[in-house]
Structure 1
């Protein structure tokens, strides 16, 4: 009887010991709230600024097929930020994003910030930090010339191609209500896909911000005169990364006041 009791006691002690070890391991591996924070210091320690950018938007962020490099207005902003923080404009790691993937990539820490024609809205401000606008645009419509559309008012029943997870469809619906018309929407992952859908007749119009549409103009298309839903582009960071957000916003404000941003806008032909 004593042997049985001794064996049971030893087993219980072993289980308690293993449980304590398991609990300690769990505590040790759980990240602290500060572990996921991106700060100016952590970027300096890493030696690289990780930025989510577009690679399919002419003049903003477009992959050069000859060099394989992504080039554009927003890439130059990223380089200026890297120069300020790290002293080297080339100390950047660019990750291509779409309207659908940019949020998740920022959420999971694969990028430090997003500079990718990211429109600032009150709803998005609840999830991310945004800088003041570095560029202002408006939603537009790219159509085939042979459709003879003069404006949105002529497009009752049309199918509009838009980007996934963008604010474009809502902007068009709000504008369409003024004309008492309705339309259908088809979502696509990338802008080239929307342009291909327009060329093949699967959609009647390609809608996104006008400056982006300008990069997809050709001899068969025209941008209609409609301008609606002003779009302010801001640099997005995670809500917890307040120090980084404040620093980047200070730079954007300074560059807006001293003409740096205007110079880049002109350089990339974006002053419509």
Structure 2
């Protein structure tokens, strides 16, 4: 009889110990806990140990990545994405260090370890995927054109023989070159380091059109210029990480997937007036 009660007592004590362990908690979409007791992948844990997520962002693209000169604050959809990832890692969205990048500098900044990831209207292409990891697309846009309102240019084919301003190292030039060949027209290009420089060149008449993704162009539209109705080459934006950081890439992609599935991504589109 004593032996039977001993077995029962042992079972009760075992159950109590297991209950005290708190059970199994559900990990967030990215695979981390954000509260300290994590099962974060090693590459993500390294960022957490460093105490800050370093993200390359645009600073001249209203609604996506923009540094407000009056407030000295970064804002835009891509800024919010960076904060969302930081919250997943640290439980605190403020633990982000933003570094301004452009189409020419964002890749090298990843490669040399200056930043952990790029969220900067970075179009996913097969060629670029050979050099960096990309998440699933978080936004899709098309290449468009701004021209001066008094230029007489009303369509893409009116740009035959004209000069188009594009960003250095952007995919725009290749997309338009291919389209021009299809349509039997000839266009010339002038490259610039930043979007404000392209806009200034358009305003001064040094170029005939400013071409980049339409959502970016809307941030530079004013009463001096008009958007042409033509649009080409859908551009999928993805979050880029260093090619060797496969664990970090998977972690980020899981967050993007959950944001899409939950409707959180749609809320960001609405917040920033994006279509």
The question of whether the paired residues in 2 share the 8 Å contact of 1:162 and 1:185 is answered with: yes
Q: 1:157 to 1:253 in 2, by over 3 A?
A: same
Q: Distance in 2 between matches of 1:173 and 1:152?
A: 12
Q: How far apart, CA to CA, are the structure 2 residues paired with 1:179 and 1:61? A: 34
Q: Partner residue of 1:243?
A: 247
For residues 69-107 of structure 1, the C-alpha deviation after alignment (integer angstroms, 9 at most, x for no partner) is 111110000000000111110000000000000000000
Pairing 1:55-94 to 2, within 5 Å after superposition: 55-94=59-98
Shift of 1:173: 1.3
**CA offsets 1:103-161 (integer angstroms, 9 cap, x no match):** 00000000000000000000000110000000000000010111121211111110000
Match of 1:125, SS state, is helix
Q: CA deviation at 1:179?
A: 2.4
What TM-score do you get using the length of structure 2 for normalisation?
0.84
Tell me the residue number matched to 2:153: 149
SS of residue matched to 2:183: coil
Question: Aligned partners of 1:97 and 1:107: how far apart in 2?
Answer: 13
* Structure 1 unaligned spans of 5+: 1-36
Whole-angstrom distance in 2 between the partners of 1:264 and 1:158: 37
Question: Does 1:51 find its partner at 2:51?
Answer: no
User: Does the 8 Å CA contact 1:38/1:112 hold for their aligned counterparts?
Assistant: no
Looking at structure 2, the residues matched to 213 and 257 of structure 1 have their Cα atoms a distance apart, in angstroms, of 28
Q: In the aligned structure 1, how far is the partner of 2:188 from the partner of 2:160?
A: 9
Which of 188, 191, 205 is the matching residue for 2:209? 205
* Paired residues of 1:151 and 1:226 also in contact (CA < 8 A): yes
* Corresponding residue of 2:172: 168
Measured after TM superposition, the shift of residue 269 of structure 1 is 0.7
Q: 1:178 offset after TM fit, Å? A: 2.9
Q: Distance in 1 between matches of 2:274 and 2:42?
A: 31
Please show how residues 31-42 of structure 1 align to structure 2 within 5 Å: 39-42=43-46
TM-superposed CA distance for 1:162, in Å, is 0.2
CA distance, structure 2, for counterparts of residue 38 and residue 93 of structure 1? 20
**Residue from 249, 267, 270 that aligns with 2:271:** 267
Structure 1: distance between partners of 2:106 and 2:42: 17
Partner of 1:14 in structure 2? none
CA distance in 2, matches of 1:151, 1:38: 52
Q: Distance in 1 between matches of 2:180 and 2:112?
A: 37
**In structure 2, what is the Cα distance between the partners aligned to 1:131 and 1:190?**
25
Count of aligned positions: 235
Unpaired runs of 5+ in structure 2? 1-40
Runs of 4+ in structure 1 off by over 6 angstroms are: none
Would the aligned equivalents of 1:52 and 1:113 in 2 still touch at CA under 8 Å? Answer: yes
**In the alignment, which residue of structure 2 is the partner of 1:187?**
191
SS in 2 for 1:146: coil
